Chain A
Amino acid sequence: MNRFLKGHVIRNIIKRPVRSVGLAALVMLLSFSVFSGTLVIASMRNGLGSLKDRLGADIMVVPYEATTKSNLENIILQGNTGYFYMDSSYLKKIASIEGIGQISAQFYLASTSSGCCSVPVEIIGFDPDTDFTIQPWIKQSYHKELKELDVVVGNDLNAFVGDTLTFYGVDVHVAAKLDKTGTNLDTAVYTNESTIKRLIQSSLDKKMNNFADIDPDKVVSCIMINVAEGYTIEEVLNDINIHVRKVEAIKTKNMISGISRSLSGVSDVIGILVIVVWILALVIMIIAFTVSSMERKKEFAVLRAIGASRGRLAGLVMGEGITISLIGSLVGIVLGTLLILPFSNFLEEAFELPFLLPKITIILLAALMSAVISLVAGSLACIIASYRISRIDTGLILREGN
């Protein structure tokens, strides 16, 4: 672009603030909608992926009462603190069933709300010798073995490495903070079997537990199972449900498929919204660019009369359109960044779906992509206007008077 075009374009944008801001706002809408839409859908996919990784077991076995308590998915996946126990003899019974590859018990306990502004935190205990679901996750941020009275905390907990937390009068030491998963697993505390048994015992001693008649050494809350090679999940699942009474074996994939369904529902809605916004904004932009250029026919005719070529007139209109689109698409990205990134926890709660922001490189890539396609769309919208301006009947317009 030569200096005349540049100067004239910038001057026209500044001297017509309402029109410029209006058009830029439309392009902003384009880039904002596609950027935030992409980011939300990507975060949900990412959250679902991390949930799959974290669940890491083919089958979960819980006491039968647990399935009737409330929505089981909520208990397991959304971490709504509910806890339940079954006799530890079930572990042996189930372990003996054919087709079991890996098997490990987990122990659940909810803390009481201690002090103001804290809510019950779910404490999950695992058996360090057999666990295959929680320890790989811990290894991502902590490489040592958990000692007695050590806990690791989920990423969304307001506790940090070195802090001391008190549960039922027992002081525990925060050894590590886990990577974010974007699920309610982030608000739980994880510890080994012996520590959680001490906590359960302490809760019983202090009479702060509804299960007054349990012996912490003789109960488990949940059994995680990976099926051995050569067996299908269904076979093992049916075996357990037929042969072991008072427990319910659940295929974890089924729980995730429920989430997948709502995820694809939400992403469909977002996709449709983005498309509607795009169609509306593009139509308005094409009309707005054309009308606002045609209002300035006289100015363009004058430029033509003093020797501007058709190409130069088209360049002027295009230059304005591209500059406005560039500004609008950048503002849209900034707006999307400000509205999505800080509010990711809120969105996780609002959608009731796992929500984990993608890596910064992917966010940047999405921003770049959204900016580019909005810029291209904005530029295309003014092509019609610039074509019509380049074909104006100069003589006729100049004669039309003022």
Chain B
Amino acid sequence: MKKLCNIVTLILSLILSVGVMTFADACHNKMMGKWMHCHYVQMDVFYIGIGLIVVSLPALFIKNEKIALISAFVQMALAVVAILLPGTIMDMCMMHTMRCYSVMKPFVTVMGILVIISALAGEIVNLLGGKQQK
């Protein structure tokens, strides 16, 4: 069950990273040869997604409760940052009807929430399972 949550978190992180680079990217085109600044928000979200993937890997292969706990907390923290990045931490486009607001931001929000739920569920299952074994 715990392992399942780990795998789900990993898959969600992958979708987040791939998504912001493809179907949920901030802007389709460069404007006048230059990327607009929401493109850099997108790139930062992408790096956080890579971070999430890296953090979820050790917990998959190493069976250590402390590592699992730390990685879950790091995952949740990264997900919160990812959610806050577009629009809150970093400024984006002028209109909320533009792609960065209408597609990328909600996509990142939803994936971020799912990552938090999955990481949290994994930890809760872990704690409950630990108790039962004792």
Q: Which residues of A contact B34 (CB under 8 A)?
A: 116
- Choose among A155, A184, A187, A346 the residue with the greatest number of B CB atoms under 10 Å from its CB: A346
Query: B132 near A: Cβ within 8 Å?
Result: no
Within residues 35 to 85 of chain B, which ones have a CB less than 8 A from any CB in chain A?
36-38
Query: A158 near B: Cβ within 8 Å?
Result: yes
Query: A10 near B: Cβ within 8 Å?
Result: no
Query: In the complex the two chains form, is A116's CB within 8 Å of B31's CB?
Result: yes
Stretch at the interface among A98-106, A132-140, A337-345: A337-345
In the complex, A373→B63 CA distance in Å?
44
In the complex, A155→B96 CA distance in Å?
8
Q: Which residue of B lies closest to A339 (CB)?
A: B110
Query: A117 near B: Cβ within 8 Å?
Result: yes
Query: A179 near B: Cβ within 8 Å?
Result: no
Q: Which residues of A contact B102 (CB under 8 A)?
A: 343, 345-346, 348-349
**Whole-angstrom distance between the Cβ of A178 and the nearest chain B Cβ:** 13
**Whole-angstrom distance between the Cβ of A306 and the nearest chain B Cβ:** 29
**Whole-angstrom distance between the Cβ of A61 and the nearest chain B Cβ:** 28
**A338-B110, A338-B113, A342-B109 known; A119+B95 contact, CB < 8 A:** yes
Query: A66 near B: Cβ within 8 Å?
Result: no
Q: Which residues of A contact B38 (CB under 8 A)?
A: 117
In the complex, A349→B97 CA distance in Å?
7
Instruction: Find B95's partner among A187, A338, A342, A343 (CB 8 Å cutoff).
Output: A187
**A117-B36, A158-B91 known; A342+B106 contact, CB < 8 A:** yes
What band does the interface of chain B fall in when counting residues whose beta carbon is under 8 Å from A? Answer: 20 to 34
Query: B93 near A: Cβ within 8 Å?
Result: yes
**Whole-angstrom distance between the Cβ of A99 and the nearest chain B Cβ:** 38
0/1 interface trace, chain A 111-129, chain B, CB 8 Å (1 if under): 0010011110100000000
In the complex, A322→B85 CA distance in Å?
41
DSSP majority for the A interface? loop
In the complex, A129→B25 CA distance in Å?
45
Query: In the complex the two chains form, is A121's CB within 8 Å of B94's CB?
Result: yes
- Choose among B34, B97, B101, B105 the residue with the greatest number of A CB atoms under 10 Å from its CB: B97
0/1 interface trace, chain B 20-40, chain A, CB 8 Å (1 if under): 000000000001001011100
Q: Which residue of A lies closest to B41 (CB)?
A: A117
Query: In the complex the two chains form, is A119's CB within 8 Å of B98's CB?
Result: yes
Q: Which residues of A contact B31 (CB under 8 A)?
A: 113, 116-117
Query: In the complex the two chains form, is B37's CB within 8 Å of A117's CB?
Result: yes
**Whole-angstrom distance between the Cβ of B105 and the nearest chain A Cβ:** 8
Q: Which residues of B contact A186 (CB under 8 A)?
A: 96-97
Interface size on A, residues (CB 8 A): 22
Query: A131 near B: Cβ within 8 Å?
Result: no
- Choose among A156, A157, A345 the residue with the greatest number of B CB atoms under 10 Å from its CB: A345
**Whole-angstrom distance between the Cβ of A395 and the nearest chain B Cβ:** 40
**Whole-angstrom distance between the Cβ of A399 and the nearest chain B Cβ:** 39
**A116-B34, A116-B37, A346-B103 known; A158+B93 contact, CB < 8 A:** yes
Query: In the complex the two chains form, is B95's CB within 8 Å of A158's CB?
Result: yes
**Whole-angstrom distance between the Cβ of A215 and the nearest chain B Cβ:** 30
Query: B116 near A: Cβ within 8 Å?
Result: no
In the complex, A158→B102 CA distance in Å?
13
Query: In the complex the two chains form, is A343's CB within 8 Å of B106's CB?
Result: yes
Query: In the complex the two chains form, is B92's CB within 8 Å of A158's CB?
Result: yes
Q: Which residues of A contact B98 (CB under 8 A)?
A: 119
**Whole-angstrom distance between the Cβ of B94 and the nearest chain A Cβ:** 4
Query: In the complex the two chains form, is A157's CB within 8 Å of B110's CB?
Result: no
Query: In the complex the two chains form, is A184's CB within 8 Å of B97's CB?
Result: yes
**Whole-angstrom distance between the Cβ of A235 and the nearest chain B Cβ:** 38
**Whole-angstrom distance between the Cβ of B9 and the nearest chain A Cβ:** 16
Q: Which residue of A lies closest to B91 (CB)?
A: A158
**Whole-angstrom distance between the Cβ of A172 and the nearest chain B Cβ:** 14
**Whole-angstrom distance between the Cβ of B124 and the nearest chain A Cβ:** 16
Q: Which residues of A contact B (CB under 8 A)?
A: 113, 116-119, 121, 155-159, 184, 186-187, 338-339, 342-343, 345-346, 348-349
With A119-B98, A156-B96 given, name 12 new contacts (CB 8 A): A116-B34, A117-B31, A117-B93, A117-B94, A119-B94, A158-B87, A158-B96, A158-B101, A159-B94, A187-B95, A342-B105, A346-B106
Pairs across A and B, CB under 8 Å, 23 listed? A116-B31, A116-B36, A116-B37, A117-B92, A117-B94, A119-B94, A119-B95, A158-B91, A158-B95, A159-B94, A186-B97, A187-B96, A338-B110, A339-B110, A342-B105, A342-B106, A343-B102, A343-B106, A345-B102, A346-B103, A346-B106, A348-B102, A349-B102
